[in-house]
Structure 1
Amino acid sequence: MDNDRHPSGAPWRNFYGRFKGKGLRKSQEVYLDEDLAALSPGAVGWEENPDRTPLDLDALFGDRDVWLEVGFGGGEHLVHQAVQNPGVGIIGCEPYINGVAMLLGKIREAEARNLAVHPGDVRDLFDVLPDRSLSRAFLLYPDPWPKKRHHRRRFVTPDYLEPLARKLKPGAIFRVATDIPDYVRQTLEEVPPQGFDWLAEGPADWRRPWDDWISTRYEQKALREGRMPHYLTFRRAG
């Protein structure tokens, strides 16, 4: 057996976040049991798709543009974007099952029909997304991993940015929101070398939220604790 691979064929990938927190409410268990399978984007996992056959996004969303939100937390922003943009298909990726359950409740309430949910590591999703298939991607208040020795765990590293860049169309938009100054530093150091242009001409371009922004619970916590949000917009080069 290849020492770099799981018996299923999957590459060994360290994952440092949480998959599950405190007990789910009964209603959330119902959402997971009744709704998640129908909203899953297809054969993403290695056991169900060992050949890594690309997802059929036309079957999933028709001829819509496809967006991706990485780590959607409780799903406020994801559902907001889906409702505001019914002509777009949006995939949300989140390994934390409690957040997935929260999102499913919001999807029911909003009756959003243009969403898919991958409850796992985004790198597995990158394996099966067709290249140049995404028109937009969001990374909003990602885990900051504040200790210096843990900075390699952040999303804004080549392990994540290289496959993301391949999946984005030329001209696609990548939005990053964070309240951690050092995360801003690393983002500005790591994202442009992967083929992105930072779309900022002055301080207002990163201090002011996007016109279609909805403040999430993570942002509200940051504001209460006196941390300044930063809104960084990048465009995938041709």
Structure 2
Amino acid sequence: MRNQTPQRPRRNFYGRFKGKTLKPSQKTYLSEDLEALSPGAVDWESNPERAPLDLQALFGGRDVWLEVGFGGGEHLVHQAACNPGIGIIGAEPYINGVAMLLGKIRQAGVENLAVHPGDARDLFDVLPEASISRAFLLYPDPWPKTRHHRRRFVTQEHLEPLARALKPGSIFRVATDIPDYVRQTLEEVPRAGFEWLAEGPTDWREPWGDWISTRYEQKALREGRVPHYLTFRRKG
């Protein structure tokens, strides 16, 4: 029986794709650098069969990490520079943030990054099962209104495919300054097959040892909000 082409799911997207007018230098980064940094055919037009990404070809057999929603790219570039033996994929639909990241990549000269400028759910479709060794969700959009909580990343729509892509025993880090986002994270992430690694208050009050404070965290601190650093492990 002939295999049928997967049907594209109906997915609402509630964030922003673009903000202020891009600087000429940022337009240059997008036109000159972005295509070469693609992890492969992620969008439905170029990969309607949803063939899995060839991470071996992309990163030469190295462990692969994933950052969902990298913002301006500070943390992503920091991790790439500190871990040259690791391959890291960043997913971010906000094109201004993608342009900012590309400028940081040029400045830092890191070569172990791939960039998906789009919805992480499309990336999850083509990531091989149990292929990711670590994942980061750092200061995601809080969607503070109760009726919008279903739009948050920490829902099963996002967490289940993330869990499928993560290797057993891999680490998932979440940073947020929104108390209700902490609550929802602690409720939903374990339901998707993770365990929270915390033995005392310092395990969520103090940042990770390899942490670099992002512009979103600096804004939270200026406005008096308290960051939380949550660490989960994918169950085997």
Cα distance, 1:12 vs structure 2: 1.4
**Residue in 1 that maps onto 2:161:** 163
Residue of structure 2 equivalent to 1:101: 99
Distance 1:52 1:63 in 2: 21
- Residues 21-50 of structure 1, C-alpha deviations (whole Å, 9 max, x = no match): 010000000000000000011100001000
> What's the counterpart of residue 87 of structure 1?
85
Report SS of the residue matched to 2:84: coil
CA distance in structure 2 between the partners assigned to 1:99 and 1:114 by the alignment: 19
Q: What is the CA deviation profile of residues 45-99 of structure 1, one whole-angstrom value per residue up to 9, with x for unaligned ones?
A: 0010000000000000011000000000000000000000000000000000000
Letter in 2 for 1:195: G
Q: Which amino acid aligns with 1:105?
A: G
What does residue 147 of structure 2 align with? 149
Check whether the contact 1:44–1:128 (CA below 8 A) recurs between aligned residues: yes
- In structure 1, the residue corresponding to 2:34 is in which secondary structure? helix
Residue correspondence of structure 1 range 177-188 to structure 2 within 5 A:
177-188=175-186
TM-fit CA distance, 1:11 = 1.5
Alignment of 1:1-238 (within 5 A): 9-238=7-236
One-letter amino acid of the structure 2 residue matched with residue 109 of structure 1: Q
The list of structure 1 runs, each at least 4 consecutive aligned residues, that deviate by more than 6 angstroms after superposition, is: none
- Which string of whole-angstrom CA distances, capped at 9 and with x for unpartnered residues, describes residues 192-231 of structure 1? 0111010000000000000000000000000000000000
SS at 1:191's partner residue? Answer: helix
The secondary structure found in structure 2 opposite 1:162 is helix
Give the C-alpha shift of residue 9 in structure 1: 4.3
Give 5+ residue unaligned stretches, structure 1.
1-7
Amino acid at match of 1:166: R
SS in 2 for 1:156: coil
Structure 2 counterpart of 1:5: none
In the aligned structure 1, how far is the partner of 2:141 from the partner of 2:206? Answer: 21
Q: What is the distance in 2 between the residues matched to 1:102 and 1:123?
A: 22
* TM-score, structure 1 as length reference: 0.96
Q: Offset of 1:10 from its aligned partner?
A: 2.0
Amino acid at match of 2:136: F
Rounded to whole Å, the distance in 2 between the matches of 1:188 and 1:77 is: 23
CA–CA separation in structure 2 for the residues paired with 1:114 and 1:154:
29
Could you tell me how far apart the structure 2 residues matched to 1:161 and 1:194 are?
6
Per the normalisation by structure 2, the TM-score is: 0.97
1:170 is aligned with what amino acid?
P
CA contact (8 A) 1:177 1:229 kept: yes
- Secondary structure at the residue paired with 1:188? helix
SS of the equivalent of 2:72 reads coil
Distance 1:51 1:9 in 2: 9
Q: How many aligned residue pairs are there?
A: 231
1:164 and 1:101 map into 2 onto residues whose CA distance is 25
**Contact 1:9/1:46, CA 8 A, preserved across alignment:** no
Task: Determine the C-alpha separation between the residues in 2 that align with 1:28 and 1:9.
Answer: 35
Helix, strand or coil at the partner of 1:69: strand
Task: Report the residue type matching 2:220 in the other structure.
Answer: A
Identity %: 81
Separation (CA, whole Å) in 1 of partners of 2:130 and 2:173: 17
